[in-house]
Amino acid sequence: MANKRLLLAVAALCVCAGCIGMPQKGVREKLMYICDDDLDYIAAEVRGNDQKALLDRPYYRITEYAYFPESSMFSHKAVVEYYYFKTILMKQIRKYRYSPSQGKWNRYYKEYGYNL
């Protein structure tokens, strides 16, 4: 009887531990999706103005990623830098925050900076 209880407790613990990592992975995947979408939009905008100015392969880097388990409004924050110009040492910096109640990332800040 004691072995069954122990086995049941261990199984419940394993299930809970497995569930904790899944939402984090899903949140990160949603961020990657929105970053890919934003990069496509930025590249299309530059391509429409001057095809020669666009990098052959525009890219982005996630420079900050934070998780706030105690926050009820926004549980994650990310800062992403977009690189897309060939000859101009410039980047676009966008900030995002994840709303668990909405289940989506929100863009809330954008600025341009120099890639020195």
38-95 tens-digit pLDDT: 999 999 999 999 989 999 999 999 999 999 999 989 999 999 999 999 989 999 999 9
- The C-alpha angle with vertex 103 and arms to 64 and 95, in degrees rounded to 5, equals 25
For 72-84, the pLDDT digits (tens) are 899 999 999 999 9
Which residues, including other chains, have CB under 8 Å from residue 114's CB and lie 6 or more apart? 89, 90, 91
For 27-37, the pLDDT digits (tens) are 999 999 999 99
Q: How confident is the model at residue 101 (pLDDT cuts 50, 70, 90)?
A: very high
pTM reported for the whole predicted model: 0.78
CB atoms within 10 A of CB 72: 9
